[in-house]
Chains A and B, each alone.
Chain A
Amino acid sequence: MTAFEPWMLLVVSVLVFCVGLLGLILRKNLLVMLMSIELMLNAVNLCFVTFSKMHHLLDGHLTVLFVMTVAAAESAVGLGLVIAMFRNLRSVDSDQIQLLRD
């Protein structure tokens, strides 16, 4: 069994966060954007657990449970909004939503 050094996990979590952020900026499909937000939150979860392990504390492990709950609530609201938009516009493409402009 290979032992993971904490810094490796931190690098992974920051990389996953960046993938999520890039996905949010670059992708045009709203459902993929929702997934990107989830990806960012999960990357932070990994980060919390790693730091918790490094400090020999339980706080980070507990935080993860809260974050997962909030993430679930957030995606429920997000899907509701996407459905409301799909009913009006028949599309989940973020390029379609450009009514509000200067």
Chain B
Amino acid sequence: MNEVIHTLMPWLVLAAGILLTLLVSVIRVESKRPAQISALLTLVVTGVLSLQAISLPGEAIFAGSIEVSSLTRILLALFSLIGILFVLGGDRYLGKERIHLSDYYHLLLILILGAGIMVAAKDLVVLFIALEVMSLPAYTLAGFRRNDSRSNEAAIKYFVLGGAVGAVFLLGSAFIFGATGSTLFPSIHEWSRQSTTGGNPLFAAGHFLVMVAFLFKVAAAPFHFWKPDVYEGAPTPVTGIMSTLIAVASFVTLVRLVHLPALDASGWETYATAVKVTIRSLAVISLLVGSLVIITQKNLKRLFAYSSISQTGYLMLGLLASLHPGQGISPVLIYLFGYVFAAVGIFVLMTQSEPRGDTGVELVDLTGLVKRSPFRTALWSILLFSMAGMPFTVGFFTKYLVFLSSVGTGETPLVVLAALCAVVSAYAYLRPIGLMVMRDADPGAAQWGGGFWSQFVVVVSVIAVVFLGLMPNAMIHYLKGIPLIH
């Protein structure tokens, strides 16, 4: 029992921190600081504890339903870091929007705990519970501007879709349970090695249902229609959390679910081809939708919703490559890490524009920013360069690695398409820079102003983007050592 407690320490600290945060927010209702400080402390301790244990060997606990490994530890540390950055960076926005409530912080912690368990789950039912623990606070946070009907709408849309996704995932789990007699990942893997029937229809149906559920979660086109609306309506820091934390947790889980059966086992060739064709076509559709529709967007949150759809497309390339024998998952992880740093900076920058009614930040708000705030323009430009995949930023290397792994597995036509899409969508990322530098300020443009902590977070993420862009080897070496799922 002691070993279990020791292994799970970061998760337990996080869970205790949720209770502590709830407690202090009930004791001191009139002030938000105690809850904020308690949340920050919890996240710092969680992050440090999981980083400290990172090189320990993986351990399966609770009858194998949860596996704590280097991968789950580093992801929990990443989630804590994202949490810290958004607690610091979202502070001013919440005050401006008059939604600075203590509840925000403990909901955020519950969300992080759910994501942390989800990436460690090795059992379909535990995975379902973790998914709901992550999603329920996310629905609430999306509707946090509760007097604004746009935020209500975003929350309702997210909730209805999330509820349906949860049910579809569960039906898939039930089918897999029916076919294999177990919900544990290792047992299902073992079953697929032994069964030579390959296309067992019950298992195939179940596996496709659980994959579709997570394809909705990561918003791979054509399952993406909810994303722009939810992004636009939710409070900006919450949109940032969805776009980084929830996206990373969901994509990592999708990768595990795709790798659920041993696709290279004999008798599974037809099924493996079907899975590959599905992923390949969804990657193509996501890339096309993401990079073509993004050009027409005027609202920045919608723009980055389509951006994240095309990121899903690039990630699917890495996922497809990982299905080939001998290929690891490291390009996907490296891409996710690189994307997170740029996205955190961008969403925190977005919270710095003064609100104009209830519409989010529009492109017009950026006009003439270089004269009004040259430093902020520089920060915007570096982060947008990274999103567009320009050299000397982390976005370039992460895309390059994904493309490289994809070419290595004979997917050259797909890579050519992806590269073309990157060129097309670069227009959408570079146009805001053009508006900031070349144009005079539009009379309707919003004022910009960030507090110290908000600016601090942006500077930190810009430094991370540039540092990892110039010296990617540190991150690559580290993440390459992390073994694949099983």
Contacts and interface: CB of A to CB of B under 8 A. Distances in A.
Contacts of B232: 100
Contacts of B178: 10, 47, 50-51, 54-55
A30 B177 CA distance: 32
B352 interface: no
Contact of B149 (A34, A67, A99): A99
Interface stretch (B46-54, B138-146, B380-388, B417-425): B138-146
A74 B228 contact: no
B163 A60 contact: no
A68 B103 CA distance: 25
Contacts of A101: 229
Main secondary structure of the interface of A (DSSP, over half): helix
Contact of A30 (B156, B171, B183, B296): B156
Interface stretch (B31-39, B124-132, B239-247, B365-373): B124-132
B177 A48 contact: yes
A63 B125 contact: yes
A19 interface: no
Contacts of A47: 171, 174-175, 178
A50 B202 CA distance: 14
Contact of B159 (A57, A63, A78): A78
A85 interface: yes
B150 A89 contact: no
Contacts of B171: 17, 40, 43-44, 47
Contacts of B197: none
Contacts of A10: 178
B160 interface: yes
A42 to B, nearest CB: 9
Interface string B148-177: 111011111101100110111011001101
Nearest to A34: B163
A53 B287 CA distance: 44
Interface residues of B, number: 41
Interface string A76-102: 011011101101110000100111111
A37 B168 CA distance: 10
A84 B170 CA distance: 28
Dominant SS at the B interface? helix
Contacts of A85: 149, 152-153, 155-156
Contacts of B228: 100, 102
B153 A100 contact: yes
A25 B140 CA distance: 22
A48 B152 contact: no
A24 B152 CA distance: 18
Interface string A11-30: 00000010011001000001
A32 B154 CA distance: 18
B176 to A, nearest CB: 10
Given A40-B171, A44-B170, A84-B143, 12 more contacts: A37-B160, A41-B167, A50-B178, A51-B177, A55-B181, A66-B125, A74-B163, A81-B155, A82-B156, A98-B153, A99-B233, A100-B233
Interface of B: 125, 128-129, 132, 136, 139-140, 143, 146-150, 152-157, 159-160, 163-164, 166-168, 170-171, 174-175, 177-178, 181-183, 228-229, 232-233, 296, 302
20 contacts: A20-B167, A24-B163, A37-B160, A47-B171, A47-B175, A47-B178, A48-B174, A48-B177, A50-B178, A60-B177, A63-B183, A66-B128, A74-B136, A77-B136, A77-B159, A85-B153, A88-B147, A88-B149, A100-B154, A102-B296
Interface of A: 10, 17, 20-21, 24, 30, 33-34, 37, 40-41, 43-44, 47-48, 50-52, 54-55, 57, 59-60, 63, 66-67, 70, 73-74, 77-78, 80-82, 84-85, 87-89, 94, 97-102
